[in-house]
Amino acid sequence: MLCTRGRLLPARTVRTVAALSAHRRSFSSTMSVGIVGFGAVGKELAAQISAQRAALQAEGVDLNIVAVSRSKVMRLGSVDASEESTDLGKFSEFMKTQPGKSVIVDCTADDAPADLYASWLESGASVVTPNKKAGSGPLERYKAIRAAEKAGGSKFFYESTVGAGLPILSTLQDLNRTGDKVDSIEGICSGTLSFLFNQFSAEKPWSSVVSEAAAAGFTEPDPRDDLGGVDVQRKVTILARECGLDLELDDVPVESLVPESLRDWQPSEEELAAGLAASFIKKIAPFDSDMTKKAADAAAKGEVLRFVGAIDLKNGKASVELRSLPSNHPFAATQHADNVIAFASERYTPRPLVVQGPGAGAAVTAAGIFGDILRAA
């Protein structure tokens, strides 16, 4: 069992290394790694690679981090190389000169790196990313990325865009590749919204639960980014495209949890000074009764509220909405900030295949990325 700094790596990572071990006598792989975006996830990834490097070398895989780019500065070459202004074009050219296979890891949440994925793949570099912008952005760009993957003989890995370290995309890909027919996919794929509805009840004001989540660091600086459901909308779009549906992001309707009158709210300077999250939470407090009624109505039926993304493959549709679910439903048993996805298929019926576990956090996200890097190797 693989462990890094006291934390277990996902089973998918363990299986990948085990597979490499079985073949260590027949090949040796050197991989040059470039990381774009060096925040919490990028730094955690670098630490995990460093901690496992010797063990992987013994298995015939040598991972070398040769380039790191932040928003304003980058470093190309060894850790002793001098910093220079970030230039993704120069970064790309540098990666082409590196020995062995190359993999570029995009740990940002920006469109600019995603615009370069096709050129990176065409040059022969694999791309690994938790960035949802490529998989859920313009369909034309997404198709260009997948075409470039085939043309360049490289690989585009994006497992961590949906469930951090959870094997959600790889499970779906295995179902499709082995000839199963997936009929529907449903799930809770936002750690923040999972936490909120695991804590919320008719006896606890909605605004206080949002405040609790913000204090714990689960929400974005502006909680509307979570409550608006766009993150779930992006993940649903990614899963739908993996199943062959040509959906644009706007084709997936979302039931926003932000009161309509607050969706265009512009905080004053005083409110910004007091804290954007705190100011927003004060704004939603008058709407607590609306959410309390929904929770009470669900409880009266022996049900619970959950924020669910759904894909109906038979009809080619997807949606994101708040649902009232029976207490024995798989989604009712989530804990803390769990993600959970249910796949209903010809093989998995009437009971779906369920993948559940922690779906957020730098450690599990970095471990999911690490697993994809090993797959690329």
Residues with catalytic function: 235
Assess contact for 238 and 135: CB atoms under 8 A.
yes
Assess contact for 323 and 232: CB atoms under 8 A.
no
HSE (side-chain half, CA atoms, 13 Å) at 10: 28
Beta strands in 108-253 (DSSP E): 126-128, 156-157, 182-188
Question: Parallel, antiparallel, or unpaired: how do β-strands 338-345 and 353-358 relate?
Answer: antiparallel
3-state class (DSSP) for residue 64: strand
Residue 259, preceding peptide bond in cis (omega within 30° of 0):
no
* Cα angle 21, 14, 52; round to 5: 75
Beta strands in 181-248 (DSSP E): 182-188
Assess contact for 138 and 337: CB atoms under 8 A.
no
Assess contact for 117 and 138: CB atoms under 8 A.
no
Kindly state the tokens that stand for 196.
């909120």
Q: How far apart are CA 351 and CA 179, in angstroms?
A: 18
Q: How far apart are CA 87 and CA 373, in angstroms?
A: 23
Assess contact for 89 and 113: CB atoms under 8 A.
no
